[in-house]
Amino acid sequence: MIPTFVIFLREGIEASMIVAILLAYLARINQRQHFRDVYMGVAAAFILVLGGGVGAYFFIRQYEGSNVQTYFETATYVIAAGVLTFLTFWMHKHARTMAKELEARSEVALSRGSRFGLGVLAFQAVGREGLETMVFTLAIIFASSRQAATPVHGKLLLVGAALGLACALAIALAIYKLGAKLNFKVFFQVLGIVLMIFAAGLLADAVENLQQLKWLPFGAHVVWNTSAMVTESSSFGDVLHSLLGYAERPTVLQVCVWVVYVVTSITIFVRLGRPPRASNSPKPVQPASSTTPGD
């Protein structure tokens, strides 16, 4: 429940920011008649992402219990971690210029007299966030279902997603309608770090699958066995697995991949978020003029 809540909250905020930027720009230039085009693009992106996600889930479930399912799930883990990492850093780099870029592309679409162009712009912008959400949600569902494959557990994941999206829409409404303020830099930094920890757990799950398939025969020694204390199939163990990538019997390679990814990605992410240091070098002293008045 918690992982889906966080991912839908984060992506919901990003998507609502994009839509709000487009609508605010159109309102500022008195082109409110094009709001419908933006809404249509958003709806098309939502339908495509939702349909693709549901289709992918049931397609993979056809092969439940076979190596084919393991292949699909492993690929989903790796892709989800990679897409999440790339887009998190991309958003961090382009957050300041995103509004200007969207406005410039909107102006181009309007200058060409193409209402279809505005819809495509909204579709691309929201679809990118939706794609990240779909892939990462599928990975969370697969990873969680391996630990606690119960109908109640599946409903909790859906509840978390619904609550995350509802909170994102409520925050967007407060920001753009009621004038509330939110420090987006801190917000995305915190959620970015949390999601990278989620991604580390997915990479560890991918390593576990590859070792079971005998594709990674090294580093298979079990580091610890805490199944007597907290099992991954328990409610508490599932929460730890979803949040921190907890495993009751992790291998050496799983632990190494988790630690290396977390330390490397978070260190780079935090360093990129720091403001540049001001130069402390003293200013050069201008030499005194050797001329005297009257020369």
Sign of the CA dihedral with 159 first, then 165, 166, and 167 last: positive
The residue to which tokens 């007299």 are assigned? 113
Given a contact cutoff of 8 angstroms between Cβ atoms, the answer to whether 9 and 168 are in contact is yes
Residue 268 predicted with pLDDT over 50: yes
pLDDT, tens only, 27-44: 878 888 888 888 898 889
Q: What is the pLDDT of residue 278?
A: 54
Q: What is the pLDDT of residues 237-252, one digit of tens each?
A: 777 777 778 888 999 9
Tokens, residue 16: 């609502």
- Angle of CA points 198, 196, 65, to nearest 5°: 35
pTM of the model: 0.71
Lowest model confidence (mean pLDDT) among 17-21, 48-52, 178-182, 280-284: 280-284
pLDDT one-digit tens code per residue, 151-180? 555 677 778 888 888 888 787 777 656 555
Distance separating alpha carbons of residues 51 and 60, to the nearest angstrom: 14
Round to whole Å and give the CA distance between 137 and 145. Answer: 12
Give mean pLDDT, residues 189-210: 84
Amino acid at site 84: L
| Rounded distance between C-alpha atoms, residue 11 and residue 4, angstroms | 11
